[in-house]
């Protein structure tokens, strides 16, 4: 079967599916539908067809596009139409996650599978409400129990809805921690004496350095006023400042 013949069937499958379909799913479904054919379609043919469909709907004539999201291929509306689509569900569609929920979700995404206690240990605050909200939004799921910890607490992982929500195909598409931290590192500027072109500035720097060395070599002696306070051998009983 030619690729041009299977493209409409692939479009129909992805359009009708309530979940993302990967290339293997599509290949199996089409071969099952045309089981009477002697020559079965291959995975390479399906992948080529998917690339062709993606290019087709990327043009400005269509308000939706074919994208890899949630572990497979889906038809999604283009970002320029999101405000219009939001009118279907009102403010609920536009409601964003709170900072607390995002913090908990980020920890789960990078440390999964992870217990609620471990999330709280990293955040430093109680995370009951955040975890509950993430479960209600189906962004995380209970993926089992940690058999090694006392009480065998529940462990949490991200869901397929999590990938849909952030428009990624798998957790491997998340930015790497090292990449995020690298953007925040600012290298110090090294200034060398030869960088100065003005000799007067060089002389001033040399004089200041000599003065600092002289001050360091001169011992700081107490003034001889005759009034000295003996060191107390009593322990400091003043209350310590609370740690916030």
Same domain (yes/no): 178, 148: yes
Which burial class, exposed, middle or buried, applies to 91 when counting CB atoms under 10 A from its CB (0-12, 13-18, 19+)?
A: exposed
Which has more pLDDT, 209 or 168? 168
pLDDT level of residue 87 (50, 70, 90 thresholds): confident
Same domain (yes/no): 173, 114: yes
Same domain (yes/no): 168, 138: yes
Tokens describing residue 204: 């001033």
The percentage of the chain sitting over the pLDDT mark of 70, rounded to a whole number, equals 68
| Whole-prediction pTM | 0.55
Using DSSP, state whether 36 is helix, strand or coil.
coil
* Residue 168 in domain: yes
* Residue 161 in domain: yes
Q: What is the mean pLDDT of residues 106-125?
A: 92
pLDDT at 209 over 90: no
pLDDT at 234 over 70: no
Handedness of CA 121, 122, 124, 125 (dihedral sign): negative
Q: What is the mean pLDDT of residues 91-110?
A: 81
Q: What is the pLDDT of residue 140?
A: 92
Same domain (yes/no): 126, 155: yes
Angle of helix 99-111 versus helix 116-123 axis, rounded to 10: 120
| Domain around 26 | 3-86
Q: What is the mean pLDDT of residues 77-98?
A: 76
Least confident of 56-60, 79-83, 120-124, 223-227: 223-227
For residue 42, what is the domain's CATH number? Answer: 1.10.10.10
DSSP state of 170: S
Residue of 64, 74, 82, 75 whose CA lies nearest to 22: 74
b/e per residue 157-172 (b: at least 16 CB within 10 A): bbbbebbbbbebbeee
**What's the CA gap between 127 and 110, in Å, rounded?**
17
Tell me the CB-side half-sphere exposure of residue 200, using CA atoms within 13 A. Answer: 0
* Residue 164 in domain: yes
pLDDT at 222 over 50: no
* Residue 229 in domain: no
Structural domains in the chain (count): 2
Q: What is the pLDDT of residue 18?
A: 86
Rg for the chain, CA atoms, rounded:
32
* Residue 174 in domain: yes
Question: pLDDT (tens digit, 9 = 90+) per residue, 139-153?
Answer: 999 999 999 888 899
* Residue 211 in domain: no
Q: What is the pLDDT of residue 105?
A: 93
Tell me the CB-side half-sphere exposure of residue 167, using CA atoms within 13 A. Answer: 8
Last residue of a domain, one of 140, 156, 182: 182
Q: What is the mean pLDDT of residues 32-47?
A: 83
Using DSSP, state whether 77 is helix, strand or coil.
strand
Q: What is the pLDDT of residue 143?
A: 92
Q: What is the pLDDT of residue 121?
A: 92
Last residue of a domain, one of 58, 86, 114: 86
Same domain (yes/no): 106, 160: yes
Which has more pLDDT, 207 or 31? 31
* Residue 140 in domain: yes
Q: What is the mean pLDDT of residues 158-180?
A: 78
Last residue of a domain, one of 59, 86, 113: 86
Q: What is the pLDDT of residue 91?
A: 57
Same domain (yes/no): 67, 131: no
Q: What is the mean pLDDT of residues 150-160?
A: 91
77 in Cβ contact with 85 (< 8 Å): yes
108 in Cβ contact with 122 (< 8 Å): no
pLDDT level of residue 24 (50, 70, 90 thresholds): very high
């Amino acid at each position: 079967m030619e690729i041009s013949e299977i493209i409409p069937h692939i479009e129909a499958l992805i359009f009708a599916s309530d979940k993302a379909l990967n290339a293997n799913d599509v290949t199996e479904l089409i071969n099952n539908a045309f089981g009477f054919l002697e020559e079965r379609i291959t995975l390479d043919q399906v992948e080529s067809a998917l690339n062709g469909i993606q290019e087709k709907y990327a043009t400005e004539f269509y308000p939706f596009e074919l994208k890899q999201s949630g572990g497979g291929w889906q038809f999604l509306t283009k970002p320029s139409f999101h405000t219009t689509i939001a009118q279907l569900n009102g403010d609920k569609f536009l409601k964003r996650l709170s900072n607390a929920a995002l913090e908990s979700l980020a920890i789960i995404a990078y440390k999964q599978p992870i217990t609620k206690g471990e999330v709280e240990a990293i955040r430093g605050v109680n995370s009951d409400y955040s975890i509950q909200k993430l479960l209600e939004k189906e962004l995380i799921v209970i993926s089992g129990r940690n058999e090694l910890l006392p009480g065998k607490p529940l462990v949490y992982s991200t869901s397929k809805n999590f990938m849909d929500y952030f428009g990624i195909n798998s957790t491997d598409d998340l930015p790497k921690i090292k990449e995020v931290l690298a953007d925040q590192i600012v290298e110090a500027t090294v200034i060398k004496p030869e960088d100065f072109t003005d000799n007067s500035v060089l002389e001033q720097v040399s004089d200041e350095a000599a003065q600092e060395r002289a001050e360091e070599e001169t011992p700081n002696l107490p003034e001889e006023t005759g009034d000295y306070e003996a060191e107390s051998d009593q322990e400091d009983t003043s209350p310590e400042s609370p740690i916030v």
